[in-house]
Structure 1
Amino acid sequence: MELRVEGLTVARGGVPVLEGLGFSLKAGEVLVLRGPNGSGKTTLLRTLAGLQPPQAGEISLPPETIAYGAHADGLKAQLTVTENLMFWARVYGTGDIDAALSRMNLVSLRDRPAANLSAGQKRRLGLARLLVTGRPIWLLDEPTVSLDTASVGLFADCVRAHVADGGAALIATHIDLGLEAEILDVTPFRADPDAARVQGAFDEAFL
């Protein structure tokens, strides 16, 4: 199981934001994306997740290996914590949600509607979805937003367990999660400055 990227160019609104990017991510590895806001980390993750095509280059990975955690938590507000996790477990063909509830400290909230959760609790539930996908490669975009220190620790423990079990994780984050990880700074791969000035017309929240 390996994610391999060669000569990749990714764009937002047709404007290149990163170009000539190459790296690999193997089983048991964590790779942390770094770079200033607007540098293209989200665009890269969306491209790797198959939500938009690359402008150039190759992305090689086995089919049905990616689980993508974006800025949005992807929850159904009217469903309970349990019902949300059961929905995703059925989508991905897995069944057991008890471990996910326990590892993200959601057991006491299992019958609460998602609409009644705090921002941090919603984020924990959103991350718990990763644990029921059965997918080996996690692509995570600022996963610790809204989490307190204890919850960040829970999440880091989940990543450690995931990679120890043969999984891999690519994480865009500005904080130190205390993980054994390689760092990929996307700054050297930013596209031509003239194109970057044009991209200012677009919403940098999506870059």
Structure 2
Amino acid sequence: MSKIWLIVDDLNYSPRSKNAHFIYPMLLRMVYGCGLRINEALTLQKTNLNLNNGIVTVKKAKNNTTRMIPMSESLTVYCRYYVKKMVFDMDKEGYFYPAPDGQKYNSGSILCGFRKVLREAGIIASDSTNPRVHDLRHTFAVHSLEKMVSEGQDIYCTLPILQTYMGHRDVESTEKYLRLTSDAYSNILNSTTTMYHDVFPEVREDE
């Protein structure tokens, strides 16, 4: 993630997309920092953000749900910086991430730009599967679980909180993030062994 921030924070102005060098750093930070689905972020209206209390309201998301998401203080501060650079009137309707024509960005266009950022950051998949913008949402979930466990929180209590924050319909959708490698996240696996030892079996290398 540090490599990604270094690249997006150093993007140059482009006449073809004059605000892209402001939009990409903000968009990727919000997808990662709030665990948003990419289309949830791209459909955000300026009026969906309350930067006084750091709350993002995601309306008509997957399963036709609406949820309110508190942002970290650092992300809220960055949002205010972004609003200043974009010269936004936050009381007026309009996309928070406007495409060059003022309409909603196409997620495919964002993916192309994201892959360029990954190449420049030297983040290349070892197989044919390239990282997606949506994978930042997965990274958010994994990092959140790791942080909560490292702070000594009960994983049994924190999973429903993460479920609600991410907009999952049920906790089973959130539990998939416990399928981690024991080498990288042994602290999470150890904390869940007694609860899920029959749920997540060992995976052979050839699987």
TM-score (norm 1): 0.25
Q: Which has the higher strand share?
A: 1
Which has the higher Rg, Structure 1 or Structure 2?
2
The two structures have a TM-score, normalised by structure 2, of 0.25
